[in-house]
Structure 1
Amino acid sequence: MLKKLALVFVLLGAILAGGVGWAYLQVKASIDQPVAQLEEPYLTVRPGTTFRGLIYQLTQMGVIAESPWTRWVGRIDPTLARIKAGTYSIEQARTLRDVLVTVASGKEYQFSITLLEGDRFTDWLNELENAPMLKHETAQMTEADIAKAIGADVDKLEGYLLPETYHYTAGTSDLALLKRAYGHMTQLLGSAWEDRDASIPLKNPYEVLIMASIIEKETAVDEERAKVSSVFMNRLHKGMRLQTDPTVIYGMGDKFDGNIRRKDLRTPTPYNTYTIFGLPPTPIAMPSAASVLAAVKPAQTNYYYFVADGKGGHTFSKTLSEHNRAVRQYLKILKQ
């Protein structure tokens, strides 16, 4: 009798062990199940989300197939059930395990936006408006409101923000990015002003920004920036007008249709450096760090003129007669 009873217990134990083993294999299979690739491969986990809540979310999104076994994943590997709120990229995930490891890591996806040098503040606002997963707080704000919100004691932000690539996590506000850009430019401008060439005819850091923005619009060739700066410095020293087309364009505003005509060069605006002496009242674009440095440390030259050479760069001249020859050569290249 005892032998029969023992045999029954052995059989029950074997069945139970077999059942547990089978269940373990089912749960493990659910962990290693492939995930569907989404058009927008981002997963946002809200604060307070439980493990079962996350599994439900993934099934509703179509990332994984519904299964009664996935709820038991935490029993097999507790580290996979440690949910951290945030937005994650699951583009590289191939299995549910990959997704859970990503969420458990807490390393949110870093979005990026490149705010370009030479653009205007309005261009930057358009870029920010279209940036993914960014919280938009500037939509109903004036430029002066935005400036105040980011700690800038100015009414106009043109030139005050440093162009570069900024990284952010989902839910970051556009104001936060602009504040970072303002802080970076403030730091750069302060150190550049302290290290400036003592001979430059600029009275303060703001005039450096104005000059840097003009340099930025005149050339995209790094090796030329200091030369372009020298031309404008030489003109200021000699009391000549700057006569730079980008300032005319900025002053025309919405009237600019892609062409500058003779009448535009003769039409006075606060920004038309063909009709005013000295600098325009504000920067005309967002200058790069390279242009800011060129503004405080121009090359030492005797150049007073430059014109496009038709090859992506410029020809620099010391005299008006040399400049006129360079202009004729450029026009000849254009005709060809």
Structure 2
Amino acid sequence: MGVFAEDGRHRVAVLVRDGLLPMELGIVHRLFGYAETADGRLLYEVVTCAPEPGELGTDADFTVNVRYGPEALAEADTVVVPASEQDYGAEDGCLSEEMARAVAHIRPGVRVASICTGSFVLAAAGLLKGRRATTHWRSAEQFRRLFPEIELDADVLYTDEDGVLTAAGVASGIDLCLHMIRCDHGAAVANEVARRTVVPPHREGGQAQFIRRPVPEPQYSSTAAARAWALEHLDRPVTLRELAACESMSVRTFTRRFREEVGVSPLQWLTQQRVERARQLLEETELTVDRVAADAGFGTAASLRQHLQAAVGVSPSAYRSTFRGAGADPARVAPAGVTEVGAGR
């Protein structure tokens, strides 16, 4: 007798390991479990399996008792691999013997997805070869070091490459599951699942909007006074001549010294600082977008929109909605046929 019921539903197997993150496991069960037809027929069956069935530890103060072993993978139409605490200590980029035996049960052509650092399992199994992938931004450098042959895009929320999918982090697992439901059964079903779980059907932007990137300051600098002065005057035009005058240098000498010490040109640094100021104002104040643009030195809302889009992939209003919960339209639905995953509009 098989693990799954013989009722024609799409079969989803979640492959978990010791140190699993319960929230990621719950995301898969909840979202696929809510997908149904107009007359209430469930569209998916989800089971949890492990390389060895039994009690598994989690990153919380409770354990999870997993009923099924890897035989469930041999029957699945979709396999999802969430993260584990074990991933953060992985240094060899290889699967354990029991994980290798488990992954070997997956049938060729089956859709396979990972959440967060579950991407390390797909990479080690060779499933991401020749494909674009993502993982949590904090693990991006580790991933690149272990799997230099894989094209890692750490700026998007998820990727979908010929039936092999990866999600960036815990919440991105929601985006990924909704995307798979949308691909299987259309936007209406996915939107209803999103509505029932009180999440956006489709989020704009990528991981960049969640990463703080303060501009590094050199320990010893001959341009520090100019930078300090610029930060106090970000709300107005700042010229290279003014910055050079702060250090009693020619524009040419100042520009060269600045690049040597900071790593970017003065104008690039100014733009970075203005973007950070705008992000702060959007997060912490209720100023209008026009006022934020003026206070950050962009002058107009259009200029702010252009620079924020380039830096973090979203518009000012979308960024504010994410970090302040204001201005979001709960009835907004995702456009059908989304193809550019994680890209801002």
Q: Same fold (TM over 0.5)?
A: no
> TM-score, with normalisation over the residues of structure 1?
0.22
Point out the structure with the larger helix share: 1
Return the index of the structure with the highest Cα Rg.
1
Q: TM-score, normalising length from structure 2?
A: 0.21
